[in-house]
């Protein structure tokens, strides 16, 4: 059985050049910020990066100290479970049946027969998706 939880995340725009993400991660490491996930993709001539910290207060304090222009707190979903054929179909099938559209999704195997998935829904659908999936 997979565990599903709401997680906070913060995004920001960065230049799309070699080392931009590595510098952010090094700065977070130096500040003692542990990230559940870090997601980046091209956006508007640059890149957008999403941070999913273990501790939002620690992340926000570090971001302020580094003078990073981060977004307000937003919510996404983190799913973790035992890897098997069709591991994602239960969660995605429930969302589809409830007509909840995904904004984005990233999933991967994590070794030792484990998988993880992060997915995003529209802000107006977060509470409904959480109830449907029993996400805490």
In this structure, the answer to whether residues 126 and 80 fall within a common structural domain is yes
| Claim: this prediction has a pTM higher than 0.75 | yes
In this structure, the answer to whether residues 15 and 56 fall within a common structural domain is yes
**Which residue matches tokens 């920001």?**
12
Question: Crossing angle for the helix pair 56-65 and 20-30, nearest 10 degrees?
Answer: 110
In this structure, the answer to whether residues 59 and 82 fall within a common structural domain is no
Q: What is the DSSP string of 84-99?
A: -TTTTHHHHHHHHHTT
pLDDT tens-place values along the chain, 136 residues long: 789 999 999 999 999 999 999 999 999 999 999 999 999 999 988 999 999 999 999 999 999 999 999 999 999 999 999 999 999 999 999 999 999 999 999 999 988 999 999 999 999 999 999 999 999 8
Asked whether the CA dihedral 11, 17, 20, 21 is positive or negative, the reply is positive
How many structural domains does the chain have? 2
- Supply the CATH number for residue 98's domain: 3.30.70.260
3-state secondary structure at position 32: coil
Host domain of residue 61: 8-73
In a domain, 68, yes or no: yes
**The last residue of a domain, from among 26, 42, 73:** 73
């Amino acid at each position: 059985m997979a565990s599903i939880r709401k997680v906070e995340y913060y995004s920001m725009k960065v230049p799309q050049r070699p080392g931009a993400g590595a510098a952010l991660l090094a700065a977070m490491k130096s500040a003692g910020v542990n990230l559940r996930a870090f997601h980046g993709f091209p956006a508007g001539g640059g890149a957008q990066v999403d941070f999913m910290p273990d501790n939002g207060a620690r992340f926000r304090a570090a971001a302020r100290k580094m003078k990073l222009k981060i977004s307000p707190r937003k919510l996404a979903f983190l799913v973790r479970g035992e890897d098997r054929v069709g591991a994602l179909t239960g969660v995605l099938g429930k969302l589809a049946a409830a007509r909840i559209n995904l904004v984005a999704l990233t999933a991967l195997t994590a070794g030792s027969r484990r998988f993880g998935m992060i997915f995003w829904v529209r802000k107006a659908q977060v509470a409904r998706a959480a109830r449907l999936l029993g996400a805490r």
